[in-house]
Amino acid sequence: MTIKKLLFGTAFLLGAAGTAQAQYTKDVLLFSQGDNGGTARFKAMGNASTALGGDISSITGNPAGLGYFNQSDVSVTGRYLNNKNKTDYFGQNSNSSKNNFNLDNAGIVFHLPTYRNGGNLERGWLNFNVGIAYNRNYVYNNLLEYRGVNNTSSITDAYSDRLSSPGGMKGWGQEVYNNSLLFDDLDPDNKGNYFPITSFGNYDGKDGFNQVNSILEKGSKSESVLSFGANYSNKLYLGAALGFTAFSYDNSSWFTEYGQTMTADQLTKINKDSEYLKPEAAYAKKREMLDKDYELYDDYAQVTDGTGVDFKLGVIYKFTPTFSMGFTAKSPTFMSIRDESYSNSEFRYFKPNEDKSFKEYRTSDDAGHSYLEYNMNTPYKLSLGASQVFSRGLITADVEWVDYAAMRFKDPGAYNKALEQEMNQKIKDSYQGAFNARIGGEVLFDNVFSGRAGFNYSGNPYKNADYTNYTASLGIGAKLGRGMYIDLTGAYNAINYKESPYVIDENYWNAASPVADIKNQRTNVVLTIGSKF
């Protein structure tokens, strides 16, 4: 099953209230995504940091790692991102990409010793360190496009499903039926069984509907974190963190379909009593729509922003001077969100061999407008890690549990509690808990240079959809003297999934919803410059 089938279809097919249900269910996952961020050093090691410390990344990773610091530290990290998509839609391949450069992380750790001068430096509470960091943990910037000739269905089939559903002829549905003149009624007396008068055209020698879907996303998610870490006898490290999240997200999508309407003979075989076939003058406008070319445009725009707060507890224990294990528990991020969206449908009709349309219609802005303020909880996270230090390097590994089924949509403005419960049930039906695994290592070439490598696997959050997500990384670092250091990392992230631009009633139409195979490749170059003092 494809991802968007789990999200109950394309939002613009559902009208304002339906848009809320589908889009907000999708957004709960989208706004829950992100990593711990941090420096180029830890990113090079696959972000496997649960059992490590002594790095600015500990502020947003395992705060217990702050206890490792025996001097203060400050660093700044920048990132270049190339986001590329390769798609396959009905055998036609497309490529799209978008670049971005941003401040990825900035942090400072204040080393605050707790021992007295001349006291024991090996036993008791040795420090209580404080860390402050800004971290951009997800970049939404993305351009996705796929196109092809669909020989199994039309987006107008999905429109018909909507019109035929309970309440489908209200608002948006009533507008589309009355003004587009693209839908017939098999049972005019009961008003309940609508179907499109569309017919397969011929494009580049292929019978079907020529379709293009383009999606442009912008924005980012970031957090500001205040962390505390303490060291007891160089064996037990405890930490806590308070995080403040803020994000902004813009989505603009355009779906286009080029097709033809039925001829009178084709329509007669389906509905010989159709109003499109009646000779009376009152039906002249409908008769005119037969045997014509059409262009259908579906536009969707969304602007969303929000803030949230979360907390994290962490512990690291050194069983030996070289082997340690760590654990973190992160609460859900409790978020307040403002969302506004617009959806419009536009229809243009052409006589054969003519470039100028003879009829155009666009739905009103009010029919597809939605504004909502709501709260949501992201999933909680539990991480367990281990690390082994050698004379010239180290190896570290993490496993993390993220319960996506525990995400919650709350207080949905004007909607009632019954709808809130329904949406949360859809979250449970769509998503599942997943394990993430990370492993990394570092080798010290000499007293100045070091090399790192890592691998990060993210589990599938969807119950019934194909999805893979992994990241491979390499990095180098150098100590520059006077406490200065510089680290450089390259990370390649590959995400493979399937997407449906719209969903149809497959049993009724005896056809499958269209599916695009998408390979998202995110190449990151991360640079950190820091100084210990």
Secondary structure (H, E, C), 9-21: CCHHHCHHHHHHH
pLDDT at 5 over 60: no
**Are residues 147 and 94 in contact, defined by beta-carbon separation less than 8 angstroms?**
yes
Residue-wise pLDDT for 96-142, tens only, equals 999 989 999 999 999 999 876 666 678 889 999 999 999 998 999 99
Strands (E), 151-200: 183-185, 194-196, 198-199
How large is the average pLDDT for residues 333-351?
90
pLDDT at 287 over 60: yes
E strand or H helix that includes residue 451: strand 449-458
The DSSP symbol for 271 reads -
Query: Angle between the 15-30 and 172-180 helix axes, to the nearest 10 degrees?
Result: 120
Strands (E), 233-333: 236-261, 293-318, 323-330
Q: Is 291 left (phi over 0), alpha (psi -120 to 50) or beta?
A: left
Distances (CA, A) of 262 to 139, 154, 199, 306, 359: 45, 13, 5, 47, 17
Q: How far apart are CA 476 and CA 52, in angstroms?
A: 18
pLDDT at 352 over 90: no
How large is the average pLDDT for residues 310-330?
97
Average pLDDT, the chain: 88
pLDDT at 462 over 50: yes
State residue 270 phi and psi, 5-degree precision.
-95, -45
Top-tier CATH class for 3-532: mainly beta
pLDDT of residue 23: 67
- Which residues are registered as beta bridge partners of 128? 230
Q: Around Cβ 455, how many Cβ atoms within 10 Å?
A: 17
Domain range annotation of the chain: 3-532
- Which residue's entry shows tokens 């351009």? 143
Q: How far apart are CA 159 and CA 176, in angstroms?
A: 9
How large is the average pLDDT for residues 37-54?
93
Distances (CA, A) of 162 to 44, 151, 225, 271: 48, 21, 45, 20
- Token pair listed for 339: 């969302």
H-type helices in 343-501, by residue range? 417-430
Q: Which of 412, 255, 387 is nearest to 319 (CA)?
A: 387
Strands (E), 91-205: 92-110, 125-139, 142-150, 183-185, 194-196, 198-199, 201-203
**Are residues 384 and 326 in contact, defined by beta-carbon separation less than 8 angstroms?**
yes
State residue 334 phi and psi, 5-degree precision.
-90, 110
SS3 8: coil
Distances (CA, A) of 131 to 42, 56, 108, 249: 17, 8, 6, 28
If you compute the radius of gyration of the chain from its CA atoms, what whole number of angstroms results?
28
Q: Is 481 left (phi over 0), alpha (psi -120 to 50) or beta?
A: left
pLDDT at 453 over 80: yes
E strand or H helix that includes residue 508: helix 506-509
pLDDT at 94 over 70: yes
Over the range 242-281, which residues count as b (16 or more CB within 10 Å of their CB) and which as e?
A: ebebebebebebebbbbbbbbeeeebeeebeebebbeeee
Residue-wise pLDDT for 464-506, tens only, equals 888 999 999 999 999 998 899 999 999 999 999 999 999 999 9
Q: How far apart are CA 351 and CA 18, in angstroms?
A: 34
Q: How far apart are CA 85 and CA 264, in angstroms?
A: 42
Q: Which of 428, 511, 399 is nearest to 47 (CA)?
A: 399
- Token pair listed for 223: 């957090």
pLDDT of residue 190: 52
Grade residue 1 by pLDDT with cuts at 50, 70 and 90: very low
pLDDT of residue 14: 38
**Are residues 195 and 163 in contact, defined by beta-carbon separation less than 8 angstroms?**
no
Q: Please, what's the largest Cα pairwise distance for the chain?
A: 105
Q: Which of 73, 132, 80, 131 is nearest to 103 (CA)?
A: 80
- Residues with Cβ < 8 Å from 186, sequence gap 6 or more? 193, 194, 195, 270, 271
Q: Is 377 left (phi over 0), alpha (psi -120 to 50) or beta?
A: beta
The C-alpha angle with vertex 399 and arms to 396 and 404, in degrees rounded to 5, equals 150
Q: Which of 171, 150, 168 is nearest to 159 (CA)?
A: 168
Q: How far apart are CA 155 and CA 513, in angstroms?
A: 10
Of all residues in the chain, the percent with pLDDT exceeding 90 is 59
Q: pTM of the predicted model, to two decimals?
A: 0.86
Distances (CA, A) of 374 to 30, 181, 305, 405, 496: 15, 37, 11, 19, 31
How large is the average pLDDT for residues 444-456?
96
pLDDT of residue 19: 46
